[in-house]
Amino acid sequence: MGKPTGFIEYLRELPADRPPVERVADWKEFHFHMEEKKLREQGARCMDCGIPFCHTGSLLSGMATGCPIHNLIPEWNDLVYRGLWKEALERLHKTNNFPDFTGRVCPAPCEGSCVLGINNPPVTIKNIECTIADHGWENGWIVAEPPKHRTGKKVAVIGSGPAGLCAAAQLNKAGHLVTIFERADRPGGLLMYGIPNMKLDKEQVVLRRIKQMEAEGIRFVCNTEVGANYPAEKLLKEFDATILATGATKPRDLPVEGRHLKGVHFAMDFLTANTKSVLDGRKNGNFISATGKDVVVIGGGDTGTDCVGTAVRHSCNSLVQIEILPKPPGDRAQDNPWPEWPKVYRLDYGQEEAAAKFGADPRVYLATATKFEGDATGHVKAIHTVQVQWERNEKGQFVPKNVPGTEKVLPAQLVLLAMGFLGPEQPLLEVLGIERDPRSNAKAEFEKYTTNIKGVFAAGDCRRGQSLVVWAFNEGRGAARECDRYLMGQTDLP
């Protein structure tokens, strides 16, 4: 490394964000970039550790440790420190097709396993990654690069989310003719409609990559649902191979009394309709509004946070977020050692904005909903909750138990269910005859991605279940490699 003592000389710094009270007035991204001098100092903190865990991409205790796409982090940190931004971009693009996406929305398991993080704040890997990509666009280094030769093989990719885009990009590099089918009106899948605009700008970030891919020869077909308005038989007949990358979009429900009431919605219905309305310039009113309402978000994670941030921007009257798990500690617990993902308390952007507006973090821990109460018109007006404690059952599993005497009733005219996802929607898998695993995912072995149907591959959340965007990148790239091998008998794709 160019600065062996950088981790001693420089403290961890992050760029400033727009103030919460200011940014909730619009849907624009809220992160600023740091000045180059500061960024080079942050790159210098990468400590030449000898065995960098940041790009291991393995699972420990069921959580990602290091980068699942094996980004060459120490290399581009060093190049940033030296001011060699174009070279840093080249190294970054070797493993990551879309670093401008992951640099914004990835929770950065790489930082959780940074060796410096054993006893100091880790290197600001995510921020440096995002800035490298943005430098590439600003300087005109990222341009369309169509393949020089075409194989004549045609591949269909079903779904234009992170796994589908990565698979398509890699297969196109190999010279295949790639068509991406997307049932929504715009391409991008989760990246377009599952993540709010203030977290990942659609016009400036997502669509510029889509346009680049189109210029490279990839065809996008939107408003098309394979198995519904596009026959699955036609797909298998017209294409030499198919990659399923439909995501895990079946939401987990909460079957308690009053679930049928108006005003109780799945989180993704709320987020998707809102983003569509934002992109349409608010010319349509076809979205679920939180304006003037008492809002309760049930569930944590990124989706819950996005619901919080969106509801605050709607100028909701009040906001509570219910989490069934206990509040994480401020520092790593003894049973959560490095390099595992640190399960510690974080104030994410949505909770920070809610705290700025209402005076406190909106989360209530160790609680669950027991009943939704409605008014005379059949609309939800309140939610009944109770505190829980986690105990072992007869099988030795930890399960939540209601604590008597802790019941509460909260006002609520809008309830958003953000409790995760159960797997992919089943109709397409059934039409194609795809075997499922016990969790209803498409059955395909990791690193091989082949289903029981010849020439049909599965990747991303529809194969592994709900996971990180960066794992979808890993699987999309891997499925492209195996698809190329199937088509050509060999492959040069990584």
Rounded CA separation 61/73 (Å): 23
Q: Is 230 helix (H, G, I), strand (E, B) or coil?
A: strand
Residue 171 and residue 483 in contact, taking contact as beta carbons nearer than 8 Å: yes
DSSP string for 33-44: PPPHHHHHHHHH
Q: Cα(165)–Cα(412) distance, rounded to whole angstroms?
A: 39
- Topology of domain 154-249+422-488 in CATH is FAD/NAD(P)-binding domain (3.50.50)
Task: Classify residue 242 by burial, with Cβ atoms within 10 Å: 0-12, 13-18, 19+.
Answer: buried
Whether the domain at 154-249+422-488 and the domain at 253-419 fall into the same CATH topology: yes
- 253-419 folds as FAD/NAD(P)-binding domain (3.50.50)
CATH number belonging to domain 6-138? 1.10.1060.10
Q: Find out whether 130 and 96 touch, Cβ atoms under 8 Å.
A: no
- The helix (H) or strand (E) run that includes residue 416 is strand 414-417
Q: How far is CA 141 from CA 40, 86, 132, 202, 205, in A?
A: 20, 7, 11, 20, 15
By C-alpha distance, which of 432, 466, 422, 421 is closest to 158? 432
The answer for residues whose C-beta is within 8 angstroms of residue 81's C-beta and 6 or more apart is 1, 2, 3, 6, 40, 41, 43, 44, 46
Map out the domains of the chain as residue ranges: 6-138, 154-249+422-488, 253-419
Q: Which long-range contacts (CB under 8 A, 24 or more apart) does 317-320 make?
A: 317/292, 317/293, 318/294, 318/358, 318/411, 319/294, 319/295, 319/354, 319/357, 319/358, 319/362, 320/295, 320/296, 320/362, 320/364, 320/410, 320/412
DSSP single-letter state for residue 242: E
The answer to whether residues 475 and 460 touch, using CB atoms and an 8 Å cutoff, is: yes
The model's pTM: 0.95
Q: Rounded CA gap, 308 and 290, in Å?
A: 10
In a structure prediction context, what are the per-residue pLDDT tens digits for the chain, which is 494 residues long? 678 899 999 999 999 999 999 999 999 999 998 999 999 999 999 988 888 999 998 888 888 899 999 999 999 999 999 999 999 999 999 999 999 999 999 999 999 999 999 999 999 999 999 999 999 999 999 999 999 999 999 999 999 999 999 999 999 999 999 999 999 999 999 999 999 999 999 999 999 999 999 999 999 999 999 999 999 999 999 999 999 999 999 999 999 999 999 999 999 999 999 999 999 987 777 899 999 999 999 998 999 999 999 999 999 999 999 999 999 999 999 999 999 999 999 999 999 999 999 999 999 999 999 999 999 999 999 999 999 999 999 988 999 999 999 999 999 999 999 999 999 999 999 999 999 999 999 999 999 999 999 999 999 999 999 999 999 999 999 999 999 999 999 999 99
